[in-house]
Amino acid sequence: MSRTFNFSAGPAALPEPVLLQAQRELLEWSGERASVMEVSHRGAAFVAAAEEAERDLRDLLSVPSNYKVLFLQGGATQHFAQIPMNIAGVDRVADYIVTGAWGQKAVAEGKPYVRAQVAATSEAGNFTSIPARSEWQLSAEAAYVHYTPNETIHGVEFHQAPEVGDVPLVGDFSSTLLSRPIDVAHHGIIYAGAQKNIGPSGLVVLIVREDLIPTPPSNIAKVLSYAAQAKDGSMLNTPPTFSWYLAGLVFKWLKEQGGLGAMAERNRAKAELLYSTIDGSGGFYRNPVEVSSRSWMNVPFTLVDEALDKPFLKESEAAGLLALKGHRAVGGMRASIYNAMPIEGVRALTDFMADFAKRHG
């Protein structure tokens, strides 16, 4: 087997023990004499597994009892629109803090369903920092304040949740959820596409305070209603069962690793190692993000000469370091070092980077 270190931004690497367990159970799962992909989502076996996955996630995140945990479909992008459909409406204002491409997309997709107002943005600085809190122009009447705790493309991260008063705080945690402990109760809604730290694509985890979804909105389809989905245990229609099952295995794996406190220490160490290599390269490598806003999960970097990009990618792939090409909006390279990336993978990358700089500098 030629499996190696995968730095893809998403769909991203999954923990190898999880993949091996899924492999063992692929043809026959939980005594059902069938694959988990082949059994009814309303059958006792799958319902039990789904409920256990929710309990484990609640335990990992210390989710308060007055929050619903939903396992939904559509990717986070669909929920850019679905959130205002459920908790706002075209007659309400919603504030958006924009620190990168995904924040921009959240505004664009929300505009048909809410009066989306950009209350702060770091676009003028090419999304290399978080706007100073004193510059935010928040509305006291806003239905919610939306932010992106970690920007996958630009590598900018909030290391503390912002204070927004009594207005519900909504966070797109797609690329950072489960990488460290967070204060769920500080938020009205937390949502995340699964394909970074949770599981395979096709699943969205959404955690919502109950008072924000008291009844299904009358002007949207029932399948888009968080209240309706909560009432039916996220099984209003057939859910993405295989993704849900795999997410449950990931939650178990995280608990076996020591929980989110332990993952935070690992992720901090991985990020520090990579950034120290970049900063200590004498200018051969460069990360454009303000130091206080640097992401633990997604590390973009450029080389001193763009002509070296192709050799870097060719040689790194040959060395077993995959998917390091940067997003087209930023260029250069990007190393995504989510939970499933071991410190050994980051060491292999930084050793390669040092050798490459020595040979081409």
Quick one: which H or E segment has residue 332? none
Per the residue annotation, which of 29, 172, 270, 296 is the catalytic one? 172
65 touches 75 (CB < 8 A): no
3-state helix, strand, coil in the chain (%, to 5): 40, 20, 45
Q: With contact defined as beta carbons under 8 Å apart, do 122 and 130 qualify?
A: yes
Task: Give, rounded to a whole angstrom, the gap between the first and last alpha carbons of the chain.
Answer: 34
Is 232 a known active-site residue?
A: no
| 211 carries an active-site annotation | no
Q: Where are the beta strands (DSSP E) in the chain?
A: 5-6, 67-72, 89-98, 114-121, 145-147, 150-151, 156-157, 169-172, 189-193, 204-209, 285-286, 298-303, 321-322, 333-336
| Catalytic annotation present for 244 | no
**Could you say which of 102, 244, 296, 325 is catalytic?**
102
Residues 337 and 350 sit within 8 Å (Cβ to Cβ): no
Are 154 and 103 in contact, with CB atoms under 8 Å apart? no
Q: Which of 56, 68, 95, 196 is catalytic?
A: 196
Helix (DSSP H) and strand (DSSP E) numbers for the chain:
9, 14
Q: Is the dihedral of CA 83, 86, 88, 91 positive or negative?
A: positive
Report strand pairing: 204-209 vs 189-193.
antiparallel
Distance separating alpha carbons of residues 319 and 2, to the nearest angstrom: 11
Report d(CA 201, CA 195) in Å as an integer: 5
Q: With both helix axes pointing from N to C terminus, report the angle between 101-110 and 75-87 in degrees, rounded to the nearest 10.
A: 40
DSSP state of 25: H
Please enumerate in sequence order all residues whose Cβ is within 8 A of that of 33, keeping only pairs 6 or more positions apart, or say none: none
Catalytic residues: 102, 172, 196
